[in-house]
Amino acid sequence: MKLFMPSNIYSKILKSFLEKNNQLEIILKESSLLSKELENDREAVALIPSLDLINHRELFVSGKSGISFDGTLSNSYFYLTENEERTLGKILLRGDVSLNEIILTKILFDERFSSEVEITLDTHKEPDGSQNTLVVGNENFSFWDYNSSISFSDQMAELLDYPYVNFIFASNSRYALENLEAKLLDIDSFIEENIDTILDGINTTDELKLYVKENLGSLYFEMTNNETEALSEMIKMVYYHGILDDLFDVKFI
């Protein structure tokens, strides 16, 4: 079975747990391309950005596993500057950007800071440190001072009063999704008990490994009723902001 996942530090932790199962072919892709893979292979499973469901409502969704945050750890971080050259009211998005960041950044600034912002995709190779920027994915840990940033996930969790469900397992095949769920039992406790070994097997800096270890309590791979409710509430929030024409039910299995 093919399993498509984003390429970030958290999915690589998940990948290390799943790699012991030789029935899975794990393929890492850009976040914005993951749902497209499910169109091409209806028997595959993908770990997709949660708001991709807006355009793929037919997908079955796991109610047991995903990637959620409720604190410091995040796949996206804000870098807000007081530089006089910055453009007020404008947020640059760069990195492994998905629909989540595009939609939720505007809502977040409206709800949390009573501020309307313009969202612009930054396609430049080199980052512009003089502008307010939301960086998504691995670039946070190679070019930016993430210790001085604002956690996107923390802000979303505060806004929702629920964990921020960033990625969800989805498929056109209920059977394939149930098959994967069976391989993910007790994943949180396994990762907590084996985090040193898992991180040692990931090619990244010692600083980032320590950062993940120290904040592991804000990262969840298991989904409970709290996370499924969180996803439903997030979709309602997007609807109330006029981005959706109608509400829809998530097809949790």
Three-class SS of the chain: CEEEEECCHHHHHHHHHHCCCCCCEEEEECHHHHHHHHHHCCCCEEEEEHHHHHHCCCCEEEEEEEEEECCCCCCEEEECCCCCCCCCCEEEEEECCCHHHHHHHHHHHHHHHCCCCEEEECCCCCCCCCCCEEEEHHHHHHHCCHHHCEEHHHHHHHHHCCCEEEEEEEECCHHHHHHHHHCCCCHHHHHHHHHHHHHHCCCCCHHHHHHHHHCHHHEEEECCHHHHHHHHHHHHHHHHCCCCCCCCCCEEC
- CA-CA distance, 128 to 124, in Å (whole number)? 8
Nearest residue to 28 (alpha-carbon basis) of 10, 51, 8: 8
* Residue 59: predicted pLDDT: 99
The CA distance from 35 to 167, in Å, is 11
- pLDDT tier at 81, thresholds 50, 70, 90: confident
Whole-model pTM?
Answer: 0.95
Q: What does the pLDDT read at residue 86?
A: 63
**pLDDT band at residue 83 under the 50/70/90 scheme:** low
Mean confidence (pLDDT) of the chain: 95
* Strands 25-29 vs 2-6: parallel, antiparallel or unpaired: parallel
Q: Is the pLDDT of residue 226 over 80?
A: yes
Task: Confirm if 51 and 76 have CB atoms less than 8 A apart.
Answer: no
**Taking Cα atoms as reference points, which of 49, 29, 48, 2 lies closest to residue 180?**
2
pLDDT (average), residues 218-241: 98
pLDDT band at 85 (very low <50, low <70, confident <90, very high): low
pLDDT value of position 84: 65
Give the pLDDT score at 42.
97
Percent of the chain with pLDDT over 90: 88
Q: Which pLDDT does position 63 carry in this prediction?
A: 97
Q: Which tens digit of pLDDT belongs to each residue from 102-156?
A: 999 999 999 988 888 999 999 888 887 888 999 999 999 998 999 999 999 999 9
Q: Name the architecture of domain 2-72+165-252.
A: 3-Layer(aba) Sandwich (3.40)
**Domain positions in the chain:** 2-72+165-252, 76-160
Helix 225-240 / helix 99-113 crossing angle, nearest 10 deg = 80
Tens digits of residue pLDDT in 147-186 = 999 999 999 999 999 999 999 999 999 999 999 999 999 9
